[in-house]
Structure 1
Amino acid sequence: MTKLTMASRQYWPTIGLFAILLASWQIAVSFGGIREYLLPSPLAVWNALWFGDTNWTQHLWVTTLEIIGAFVLAAVAGIVLGVAIAWSPLMANALVPFLVFVNTLPKVAVAPLFLIWMGYGIFPNMLMGALIGFFPVVINTAVGLTQVEPDMLDLGRVFSAPKWKIFLKIRLPNALPYILSALKITATAAVVGAIVGEFVASQSGLGYVIVTTQSSMNTSVAFAALIWISVVGLLLYGAVVLAARVWAPWAEGTE
């Protein structure tokens, strides 16, 4: 059995479900008397995607940059902070309460502050996405680095391995599946954060498109923007899944 056949058998229920939902949606709008500005038909959304006058290339490029930037910032900051927490109990006591406090802040309320501090642009939206997505990376990194089999640590001590070598050879490989699992969460959180930032302060991007369609009641364009956002999020999530299979194949099937 080829991989393509196996993949088709695995995902055909999802494809079938989407086909049924789209058909039901089209029938409901066409024969149910639903106004187009309340719920556009799939055909109207398709036309908005490919045949409308919206400059999708520009907006898609801006949002993609923001999402990838947010993901990278969240990953780097989360891993660094997680390593610091696992490395030093003093750092853990200092950082954990502060990070919990930051994570409990309502991110939508923080977005206007970013506008005041940094103005319009891509970088503030990157920071918003990173702020939403970094916390799971911190926690999973710290847990993966500390929850190591005692026998493995004892083995390192028997050979008189220094702390940094135990960290690199034992703790880090143990933490890799934890980190990659957190990055899957961060991949979706980065999308949410970037769009929230665009809602508050932006002059381009897919979130900006959604906001501007409210005044004109051009709901089909808003739905089309949502589809592009989902595509970017799925591609980023898929890249993380692929990286997990390449870098930590031993963790497959353990989640």
Structure 2
Amino acid sequence: MNTLLTRTRSSRRTQRTRHTRHIWPNWQALATLSALLLLWELAVRLVGIREFLLPAPSKVVAQFAAQPGYLLAQSLDTLRTTMLGYALALLLGVAAAIGIVYSRLLDRTLYSLLVALNAVPKVALAPLFVIWMGTGAAPKVAIAMLIAIFPILIDTVLGLRSTDPDMLDMARVNQASRASMLWKIRFPNALPSIFAGMKVGVSFALVGTIVGEFVAGESGLGHVILVAQGSFDTPTVFVALGLLCALGVALFKGIELVETRCLCWHASQRDKPAMEV
């Protein structure tokens, strides 16, 4: 009985330790951010930097407090465009990767063409989407999708091709269909690579949305930055940048949370809380 109680207490202590180790880095990041903001505030006040060059954090917060409804509405518009472009990139990227892995013709043609297209700066293509699609949501979604699709596609192809050949040979011996091997062997094995591409892709989708809002948008945080820059409203520019940072972190952490749930069986996730110190 005493041994059982000792083991139970030890297990609870270990869980508390892991939970503390998991949370502590977040507090470290918050403390670092707070210190940087404090130094920024002091530097602006002591040096006397002009507001249109570098506003103090207190001025940025005051600017957000002056029009929170408008800024949050623009943030939601940017978020909607980002998620739509990202969803299209994920759907098309994974579908194209499956086709490339299973078709030599697509591997030799489509994959090579996409790799060549990836070398072209996507920002330079933004004006073309405006010519083809006009202004509004369509060109912004297209640019976000185009920028986000490449890391998803490339990492998915890499993951699907990295399946253990012995597992595939065993499945063929047992007369498993190609569809069965894809969904039961290749796809689960490729999930770590797919999620790696998804985390990079979601950040790229946000970048693509902002580029689209710069050149074709009539709303969104990119449009807010463009208008504020034209009137030297630097505090509003910093507010929009802060909201973009918050959106980027939230999207990345959201994908990371889904990854943790889907890959709880994988070694990279199983010991993650204990390793974060």
1:173 to 180, 188, 192: 188
The offset of 1:12, in angstroms, is: 2.1
Q: In the TM superposition, what whole-angstrom CA distance separates every residue of 1:157-194 from its partner, at most 9, and x where no partner exists?
A: 22111222111211111111111110000011011000
Whether the 8 Å CA contact 1:39–1:219 is kept in 2: the answer is: yes
How far, CA to CA, are the matches of 1:252 and 1:54 in structure 2? Answer: 44
Q: Which residue of 2 aligns with 1:9?
A: 24
Q: Which residue of 2 aligns with 1:37?
A: 52
How far, CA to CA, are the matches of 1:53 and 1:20 in structure 2? Answer: 25
**Residue 79 (str. 1) matches residue 74 (str. 2):** no
Q: How does 1:162-201 map to 2 (within 5 A)?
A: 162-201=177-216
The offset of 1:52, in angstroms, is: 3.5
CA 1:88–1:236: 2 relative to 1, 3 Å? same
The offset of 1:246, in angstroms, is: 1.1
The offset of 1:54, in angstroms, is: 7.2
Q: How does 1:237-252 map to 2 (within 5 A)?
A: 237-251=252-266
The offset of 1:6, in angstroms, is: 3.7
Whether the 8 Å CA contact 1:115–1:124 is kept in 2: the answer is: yes
Q: Which residue of 1 aligns with 2:171?
A: 156
The offset of 1:215, in angstroms, is: 2.0
Q: Which residue of 1 aligns with 2:5?
A: none
For residue 78 of structure 1, what is the amino acid of its counterpart? G
How far, CA to CA, are the matches of 1:168 and 1:174 in structure 2? Answer: 10
How far, CA to CA, are the matches of 1:216 and 1:144 in structure 2? Answer: 48
**Residue 27 (str. 1) matches residue 27 (str. 2):** no
1:212 to 211, 222, 227: 227
How far, CA to CA, are the matches of 2:53 and 2:100 in structure 1? Answer: 49
How far, CA to CA, are the matches of 2:239 and 2:19 in structure 1? Answer: 29
Q: Which residue of 2 aligns with 1:129?
A: 144
The offset of 1:251, in angstroms, is: 3.2
Structure 1 alignment gaps of length 5 or more: none
Q: Which residue of 1 aligns with 2:12?
A: none
How far, CA to CA, are the matches of 1:44 and 1:158 in structure 2? Answer: 69
Whether the 8 Å CA contact 1:62–1:122 is kept in 2: the answer is: no
Q: Which residue of 1 aligns with 2:129?
A: 114
- Worse-matched range after superposition: 101-110 or 47-56: 47-56
How far, CA to CA, are the matches of 1:50 and 1:123 in structure 2? Answer: 31
How far, CA to CA, are the matches of 1:231 and 1:13 in structure 2? Answer: 17
The offset of 1:216, in angstroms, is: 1.4
3-state SS of 1:65 partner: helix
3-state SS of 1:249 partner: coil
Give the TM-score, by structure 1 length.
Answer: 0.95
Structure 2 alignment gaps of length 5 or more: 1-15, 273-277
How far, CA to CA, are the matches of 1:102 and 1:150 in structure 2? Answer: 31
The offset of 1:252, in angstroms, is: 5.1
The offset of 1:140, in angstroms, is: 1.2
How far, CA to CA, are the matches of 1:52 and 1:239 in structure 2? Answer: 27
3-state SS of 1:253 partner: helix
CA 1:53–1:72: 2 relative to 1, 3 Å? closer
